[in-house]
Structure 1
């Protein structure tokens, strides 16, 4: 029996509500998996645009380019580990040094992104 409610088990011993919850969780994991890809792709396009077109190579756009690099790092090095923690209910099964790398990357990349936003606002 399910501890959340008193639904009867079906087939393999799981309650119908457990199957519904798993289905909803799988959709959330799919959404979580798409976000880093969109983050990478969008910031990569910003970097390519500023690098390729001379008219976009201004001091303000260099700040945006630098912000895109910082956010690109978040999408590549931080978000996948955050998704890993979400999927595993905040249980870390990787080696400790990977956890340290994740924590340092998270703080450094987030702080870098915030500092870039402050510099862009000062530039404006």
Structure 2
């Protein structure tokens, strides 16, 4: 009986240590989590920002002109979503916006949202 209890406790301890160790990697393996894009100056990221502003202009008619992406994240979920914090000029005044754009093999690039960032 004592050997069986020791085996049971050892099994619980092993499982809890394994679960704790796996918990540390959960964020990396999380399919839906946003991951930072380190090189926001990469031309492909800047191009996504420019496309976001262009698509928003077509929808709204606002006279925005793209300046730069200054922060970017991505996540995989039926394609790749890009969350871009960017600067665009409304006339002569630079303003900050957040754009979410989806890239899929079937549809290409599609703007999901474009909202002003709080000050």
TM-score for the superposition, normalised by structure 1: 0.28
Bigger radius of gyration, 1 or 2?
2
Flag the structure with more relative contact order, 1 or 2, with Cα contacts below 8 A and sequence separation at least 6: 1
TM-score between the two structures when normalised by the length of structure 2: 0.29
Structure that is richer in strand per residue: 2
